[in-house]
Structure 1
Amino acid sequence: MHDSAVLAWILFAAQAALQLVFIVRALLRPHREPASRFAWVLVIALAPGVGVLAYVLFGEVNLGRRRIGRLRAALASLPPAEEIAGASAEPAIHDRFVPLFRVGTSVNHYVPVAGNRARLQPDSAAAIAAMVADIDAARHSVHVLFYIWLADASGLKVAEALKRAAARGVVCRAMADDLGSRALIRSAHWRDMAASGVRLAAALPIGNPLLRLFKSRIDMRNHRKIVVIDNAVTYCGSQNCADAAFAVKARFAPWVDVIARFEGPVARQMQHLFASSWMAETSEDLAPLFGEPLPPPAPGFIAQTIGSGAGVRYSAMPETFVALMSAARRELVITTPYYVPDEPIQAALCASARRGVATTIVFPKRNDSWIVAAASRSYYRELLEAGVQIHEYAGGLLHAKTLTLDGEITLIGSANIDRRSFELNAENNILLHDEAFTRDLRARQQVFLDAATPVTVAQVEAYSRWRQLWNNTIAMLGPVL
């Protein structure tokens, strides 16, 4: 046998062995749906080189052992999550809603707490103005964390407010995701904040991208949007620290967000969530923040923080969504920009409509992600045939992540109904029980509905064969990505 033939057989055997190793890894990875395992086995088997490389880059949800270790150490150093905001209000919750808050408690151990108040912000500019006013009024501490923080008018207003607060002796800590906010972190504005006394940290720093690939997935990001002031006020919603014009993706503008200002013990839970992210990236111990006495009980509704991410079980957000969808009796209204569900969520939405619940979901008509847009539309027909009402909002990129249930329950925050939010991103949401706030949010959802176009089964059936093929092919890749 010629040397070239021997070499060819050796290379073939090495390739086959490498494929086998990664096929076994794909089969052994925990918490993976059978469809995902099957998809990865096919990719690795049919496209050996590309498939193995794709698996190395995207096949495993890996934040890195050191990072996970630091996050767990931070949580261990902080006071127990179930104790930081006062006694659980579960006994005061209506029996039919108790399971919803128990699911929330199982995620981070934050218990539902009473005595909260909230105000929905009119729009993005008003939300930034409210944040700036609260920062200017802060007495002790200001903590902010954003996935995307731009050096535009809104972003710089918050930066200047932090600098003013630090100058008068308020302890200010600001964190931004190292990928989503890379331009600001590497700008003079970031250095100016540091020079003014604002304590800064980058969330999930990438460092050398080539080296990072071998340690963790670069696309696992801190997607949270958190503002906590004086341990008593917090903001929660979909809005990043940026103008609605959103300069980095201006052709999809305006970015249409929903965010609310909360007062009460739920702010301490959001503080705990911020502290865990901060301590995982820095050596500063924030446990003393929780030594401050709780304020006296005040009137207000029951609420609970839910923070998903690599430090908690992978199924936290999908379980939360399924629990809420399954609890609806009269009406379920959802807005989300990105819809790439797992099977239980798709089934829960269809089941909601089939049992007579008025089930409505609003998507943006134009999505900044062509991949998500195609995948989302592949699910339309099944939803519509089950009786789910689908609307596409045409007034900009609807970025709001909201859910209202029977006019009583609200979920608001940063999590999308897609696999990226479920498996890769750190998210923060607030679950609450209050008719007044839910009514206000439902009215905002109606504004979106009034500016949206209903989607019909006939329209979906009229999609060309090529469009159907494209949508379904992209959706089929969902378990792989």
Structure 2
Amino acid sequence: MSESSLMASLLLVAHFALQVGIAMRVLLRPHREPAARMTWVILIFALPVAGFVAYLLVGETNIGRRRVERLRQSLARLPAPRLVTHPNAAGISEPDGISPDSIRPDSIPPDSIPPEHRHLFRLGESISGFAPVSGNQARLLADSTATIDALVADIDAARDHVHLLFYIWLPDNNGRRVAEALIRAAGRGLMCRALADDLGSRRMIGSEHWRRMRDAGVRLARALPIGNPLLRVLTGRIDLRNHRKIVVIDDWITYCGSQNCADAEFLIKAKYAPWVDLMVRFEGPIARQNQYLFASDWMPHVEDDMDALLRRPLRQLPSQPASAPFPAPLSPPLSSGISQDALPAQVIGTGPTVRWSAMPEVFEALIYSARQELTITTPYYVPDESIQAALCASARRGVRTTIVFPAHNDSRIVAAASRSYYAELLAAGVRIFEYPKGLLHAKSLTMDGAISLIGSANMDRRSFELNYENNILLHDPALTASLRERQQQYLADSVPITPEQVGAWSWRQRLWNNTVAMLGPVL
């Protein structure tokens, strides 16, 4: 055998050994579905180089050891409860016990959550450590502009601090309005902290408005900074992002929903506009739970201890004695259809450093708990097998099960994957609608006229396993009715999808949809 032939044989053996080694890593990696393992193993052997390179880039959920250590240190400084994490999620150990007393400021009356729904909140508490709290008021905001109007008014009326976290913050009209409000608040001496995802908000971060906020005294940070992309992939996945949308003002006002800090016209993807979002403004103890979630994101990026703020008694600003009354609500009066003094609610924060199954568990528990009606809006639907099965089972047992998707998705890949599931859903009796008047970006679930889930999480694998998400689970017939009315508006403007339409799709369209969906477990 010639020297060149020997070298070629050695390289071939080394390459095969590398493939086998990476395949073994795939098989030994905890908490991966068998379908995902099989798909990755096939790719690794079918694509000699691209397969294992792809796995090394996006095959594992890993934010990097240094970031994990900073997160661990930050959570250790915060008062209990600590965020419940999976012991194998990037090396963070799960606390032995959860003591959520520090953020249970209002006791829950025994009858405020009916017995048939209490298990949902126990599940939520097992994820983030937050027990449901009562004493909240809430208002469903009319649209994107109304949300920014309310947010700017709240910032202008703030007395102590303003905390913001957005996945996408654009330097457009609404983005600049919020930036200017923060500059004014910092000028009044308030502590203003703003955290924006380094990828989603890169345009704002690179703009003059970011520099002006920093110069005005607003404390700024970039969530999950990318740095050098070529080096970043060596320390963790570059596509793990902070998808949360959190606003906390004076430890008493908070916002939750799907809206980013941007115009509805969303000029960076103008052909899909308007972005149709859903946001709820809360006043009450639920803000403290969002405050905790914000702190858990902020402190790993900034040398800034928020421990004292989280230990402060609620309804008490630092300049006030403990007996001083808290200021009157700073917003316009709440509508009469919204609960004024109860509204049990609970923050659920998920992400790659929380147990891997957290977000799917929440969706599945809600779906299986429905008895009369289940209505869902989501822009991105790439479910795992168990969620698809849960939705089909919901319709088959007689629950009126409805899902509304956007007709024109900003992701061609996600649109194709979503439509691959239509036939099975329709056959089970699930009603499917597509909204044509813009990109329906609202993420909402209402169940049996009493339970609602709103927030940032989509029903796709990215929200399940890769992104940091924040949601609020609540029990309130009045607010759920308002959310159900909004969902009904979407339905009135939507087009029903029938089995006949799906059956008429060409073989090329079905082949594309199913091929994309097949790659879902690895994406």
TM-score range, shorter chain: over 0.9
SS of the residue corresponding to residue 348 of structure 1 reads helix
Secondary structure of the equivalent of 2:344?
strand
Q: 2:103 aligns with which of 84, 94, 98?
A: 84
Partner of 1:377: 419
* Aligned mates of 1:87, 1:239 — CA distance in 2: 28
Deviations 1:102-158 (A, max 9, x none): 110011100011111100010000100000000000000000000000000000000
Q: Secondary structure at the match of 1:367?
A: coil
Pairing partner for 2:469 from 419, 427, 430:
427
Q: Which amino acid aligns with 2:231?
A: L
Residue 386 (structure 1) shift = 0.3
Partner of 2:361: 319
Query: Given residue 34 of structure 1, which amino acid in structure 2 is its aligned partner?
Result: P
1:186 CA displacement = 1.4
**What SS is found at the alignment partner of 1:301?**
coil
1:148 aligns with 2:168: yes
Q: Secondary structure at the match of 1:48?
A: coil
The Cα offsets for residues 208-240 of structure 1, whole Å up to 9 and x where unpaired, read as: 111000101110000000010000000000000
Match of 1:28 in 2: 28
CA–CA distance in 2 between the matches of 1:464 and 1:90? 56
Alignment partners' CA distance in 2, 1:324 and 1:90:
22
Q: Give the Cα separation in 1 of the matches to 2:150 and 2:39.
A: 47
Provide the C-alpha distance between the structure 2 equivalents of 1:140 and 1:333, rounded to a whole number of angstroms. 39
Q: Cα offset for 1:310?
A: 2.0
Offset of residue 87 of structure 1: 5.1
Instruction: Give 1:426's aligned amino acid.
Output: Y
Give the AA of the match of 1:448.
Answer: Y
Hey, what's the Cα distance between the residues in 2 that align with 1:329 and 1:90?
Answer: 24
Give, as a single letter, the amino acid of the residue that structure 2 aligns with 1:115: G
The one of 139, 157, 164 aligned to 1:119: 139
1:34-53 aligned at under 5 Å gives the runs 34-53=34-53
Rounded to whole Å, the distance in 1 between the matches of 2:220 and 2:461 is 30
- 2:343 corresponds, among 287, 301, 319, to 301
- SS of equivalent to 2:135: strand
Alignment RMSD (CA, Å):
1.2
> In 1, are the aligned partners of 2:251 and 2:314 still within 8 Å (CA)?
no
User: What code does the residue aligned with 2:189 have?
Assistant: G
Alignment of 1:131-280 (within 5 A): 131-280=151-300
Q: Give yes or no for contact 1:415–1:428 (8 Å, CA) kept in 2.
A: yes
Instruction: State which drifts further: 71-80 or 336-345.
Output: 71-80
- Determine the C-alpha separation between the residues in 1 that align with 2:37 and 2:172: 43
Q: Does 1:412 pair with 2:431?
A: no
Q: How much has 1:89 moved relative to structure 2?
A: 2.3
Cα drift, residue 282 of structure 1 = 0.8
Which amino acid in 2 is paired with 1:201? A
2:106 and 2:135 in contact (8 A); partners too = no
- The residue correspondences of 1:431-446 to structure 2 (distance < 5 A) are 431-446=473-488
8 Å Cα contact 2:136/2:286 also seen in 1: yes
SS at match of 1:172: strand
Rounded Cα–Cα distance in structure 2 between residues aligned with 1:157 and 1:32: 43
The Cα shift of 1:90 comes to 7.4
Mapping of 1:99-110 within 5 angstroms? 99-110=119-130
Mapped contact 1:225–1:240 kept (Cα < 8 A)? yes
Work out the CA distance in 2 between the residues paired with 1:222 and 1:85: 26
Structure in which a larger fraction of residues adopt helix: 1
Q: CA deviation at 1:88?
A: 5.3
TM-aligned CA deviation for residue 294 of structure 1: 2.4
User: What is residue 353 of structure 1 aligned with on the other side?
Assistant: 395
Give me the TM-score of the superposition, normalised by structure 2: 0.91
C-alpha distance after superposition, 1:368-426 (max 9, x if no partner):
00000000000000000000000000110000000000110010000000000000000
Q: Distance in 2 between matches of 1:381 and 1:103?
A: 31
Deviation at 1:311, TM superposition (A): 2.3
d(CA) in 2 for partners of 1:218 and 1:451? 38
Q: Whole-Å Cα distance in 1 between the matches of residues 138 and 381 of structure 2?
A: 27
Could you tell me which residue of structure 1 aligns to residue 93 of structure 2?
none
Give the counterpart of 1:390 among 432, 447, 453. Answer: 432
Q: Supply the distance in 2 between the matched residues of 1:72 and 1:404 (Cα, whole angstroms).
A: 35
Residues 4-57 of structure 1 show CA distances to partners (whole Å, capped at 9, x for unaligned) of 211110110011011011101111111100000000000001112000110011
2:477 corresponds to 1:457: no
Which of residues 469, 477, 480 in structure 1 aligns to 2:519?
A: 477
> Does the CA-based 8 Å contact 2:350-2:469 persist in structure 1?
yes
* Other structure's SS at 2:261 match: coil
Alpha-carbon separation, structure 2, partners of 1:426 and 1:70 = 16
The alpha-carbon deviation at position 86 of structure 1 amounts to 1.9
Tell me what 1:74 maps to: 74
Q: For 1:174 and 1:355, how far apart are their aligned partners in 2? A: 46
SS in structure 2 of the partner of residue 391 of structure 1: strand
Q: Which residue number corresponds to residue 344 of structure 1?
A: 386
**Conserved? CA contact 2:376–2:445, under 8 Å:** yes
Distance 1:228 1:276, change over 3 A: same
After superposition, the Cα gap between the structure-2 partners of 1:193 and 1:77, relative to the gap in structure 1 and judged at 3 Å, is: same
Q: 486, 490, 503: which is aligned to 1:448? A: 490
SS of 2:204 mapped into structure 1: helix
- Choose 283-292 or 254-263, whichever is displaced more: 283-292
CA distance in 2, matches of 1:98, 1:348: 20
Give the paired residue count: 481
After TM superposition, the structure 1 stretch with the greater mean CA deviation from structure 2, 60-69 or 396-405, is 60-69
- 2:151 counterpart letter in structure 1: M
Q: Greater shift after overlay, 68-77 or 334-343?
A: 68-77
> TM-score if structure 1 supplies the norm length?
0.99
CA distance, structure 2, for counterparts of residue 440 and residue 459 of structure 1:
32
Give the match's secondary structure for 2:520: coil
Q: 1:213 to 1:460 in 2, by over 3 A?
A: same
Distance 1:378 1:136 in 2: 47
